[in-house]
Amino acid sequence: MAQKPSIPKGTRDFGPMEMAKRNYIFNTIKDVYALYGFQQIETPAMETLQTLMGKYGEEGDKLLFKVLNSGDFMNKVSDDELHERNSLHLAAKLCEKGLRYDLTVPFARYVVMHREELQLPFKRYQIQPVWRADRPQKGRYREFYQCDADVVGSDSLLNEVELMQIVDTVFTKFGVRVQIKINNRKILTGIAEIIGEADKIVDITVAIDKLDKIGLESVNAELKEDGIPDEAIEKLQPIISLSGSNSEKLDVIGKILADSEIGVKGVEETRFILDALEKTGLDNEIELDLTLARGLNYYTGAIFEVKALDTPMGSITGGGRYDNLTGIFGMPGLSGVGISFGADRIYDVLNELDLYPKEAVNSTQLLFINFGEKETAYCLPSVTKARKAGIRTEMYPDSAKMKKQMGYANAKNIPFVALAGENEINEGKLTLKNMATGEQTMVTPDELIAIVTK
C-alpha cells in the first residue's frame, strides 16, 4: 500500500472555506491600504544569502531556510571540509539563496535597487508568505503570511497618524474591538538615562516589555538579574506603574524626563500623534503604554501594538518608526515607519468571535439542477444570464439523482437552487427554491435574478 502523503511540519493546507476567510482578511486590508495611497509590491520568495544573512542577529540567521545550489553543488566541497562537519561553513559553500525570513529586509533591498524609479515618500504594502526554521507550536508556523505597510523617505509624524488610522479602519471593518497601544523608543531611552543606566537600555526595555505577561515582581527580578542596581529599579517603579489619561501620563513623564533631551523629544512626538488622532476621531481606544517596548531594537521613534479586547490573543498588529532601514545595503539616512497585521492571529480572532460576513465565506449563490440534456439546454441561457448579473452560479455537471444534487447544494451552503422540468419549460419559467426556508416559487429568469441578487 502506498504511503499516505504528508506536508512539512509547520506548514498548512487551506481548504475552500479557509481560503474564503483568509481572502476576506487580505482583501479588507488591501482595500484600506489603497484608501490611504499605499501601492502594492511583491519580492521573490528567495533572496540571496548575502541579502539575508547578518540582518536578524545570530539566532535569526539560524532560522533561515537555505536553498541548495542547482546542479552539482558538491563539486566545490573538499573531502576535508566534509569531514570537518562544520554546517555553517558547508552551507556557505553549498547555498547561495535562502527563503525570505520577513518582508522588511527584502523591502530595504528593493528600495536600494529601485531608488531611481521611486517617488519619495514611497508608500508600499506587501502581503506575502515568509519562512522561518522555527520549532512549530500552537500559533507559530514555519510558513506564514505578513501584511506590511511602510512609508520611507519622510520624517513627518503625519505618517504615524495615518498608520494608526489604517489600524483603526481595518479593525472597524472587521467588527473587532481593539486597543491600540503606543509608546516611543526615545521615551524609553530617556527613562534609562534618568535612572542612570543608559547603557542598559536593551535589558531594561526587554524586561519591562514583559510586564503584561509576567507581572511587576518578575520584571523587577529580571532587571536585577541583568545587573540593574536596586536604586535604579526603585526609580523605575512609578514610571512603569503610571496611570491616568494619555494627556496626564504625558504631563507626568514630561516632567520626569525634563533633563533628558532625547526623552523630551519622545514626549513631544507622542503628544503630536495623540493630539492629531484625537482630532480625526478613532473608533477604537488608543492608550499610551510606557511599558511597551517591542522586541526589535531597530525602532527609533514611535512604536505601536494592537490587542483584541474580546478574546485573549496577544498582539495582532505591531510596528513603529525606524531610521536607516537601507543603511544595511549602503544607502544610509532613509527614515521609515511601518506596521504589520498578523493575518493568522486575526483569522483566529474572527473565528472565535464569529465575525465573518456570510457573503465572504459562501461561494456559490445559485445552483441549477441537471435533469438531462433537454433540461440543461433550456437552463444554460439562464445560467449565463445569472453570471452576467454578478451571481456566483453553478450548473451541476451530471444528471445525477435529485437527492445527490440537493445534497451537493447543502454541503456547499448554496442558498438558492433553480430547476426546470416539463412544466417550467412549457411556461418559459424556472422553479427557484430557497434552501434556508424551503420555499419554492415559479419565476421568470429576470425575476430569479432579482430575488437572488436581493
Whether 154 and 303 share a structural domain: yes
Whether the CB-CB separation of 306 and 318 falls below 8 Å is answered with: yes
pLDDT of residue 342 exceeding 60 = yes
Is 24 domain-assigned? Answer: yes
> Is a pLDDT exceeding 90 seen at residue 177?
yes
Segment 120-163, tens digit of pLDDT: 999 999 999 999 998 888 778 899 999 999 999 999 999 999 99
3-state secondary structure (DSSP) of residue 414: coil
Task: For the chain, give the mean pLDDT.
Answer: 90
pLDDT given at position 92? 67
Please tell me the predicted confidence (pLDDT) of residue 296: 53
The predicted pLDDT at position 8 comes to 92
What whole-number distance in Å separates Cα of residue 347 and Cα of residue 39? 24
Give the mean pLDDT of 175-196: 92
CA distance 197 to 281: 38
pLDDT for 441 equals 96
Domain harbouring 376, CATH code? 3.40.50.800
Which residues form the domain of 81?
Answer: 46-99
Q: Dig out the grid coordinates for 11 from the structure.
A: 506548514
Indicate whether 276 and 202 sit together in one domain: yes
pLDDT score of 18: 93
Is residue 52 within 8 A of residue 98, CB to CB? The reply is yes
Residue 98 confidence (pLDDT) above 70 = yes
Instruction: State yes or no: pLDDT of 359 exceeds 90.
Output: no
The answer on pLDDT for 82 being more than 80 is no
Is there a single domain that holds both residue 308 and residue 232?
Answer: yes
| Res. 409 pLDDT band, cuts 50 70 90 | very high
In this predicted structure, the answer to whether residue 74 has a pLDDT above a threshold of 80 is no
**Per-residue pLDDT at 9 exceeds 80:** yes
Q: Do 217 and 289 belong together in one domain?
A: yes
Q: Is the pLDDT of residue 72 over 80?
A: no
pLDDT score, position 374:
96
Q: pTM for the whole thing?
A: 0.86
Q: What total of structural domains would you count in the chain?
A: 3
Q: Do 305 and 332 belong to one domain?
A: yes
Q: For residue 94, what pLDDT band results from cuts at 50, 70 and 90?
A: confident
For residues 206 and 233, membership in a common domain is answered with: yes
**Which of 108-117, 238-247, 254-263, 362-371 has the weakest average pLDDT?**
238-247
Assess whether 389 and 290 both reside in one domain.
no
CB neighbours of 322 closer than 8 A, spacing ≥ 6?
A: 298, 299, 300, 301, 335, 336, 337, 338
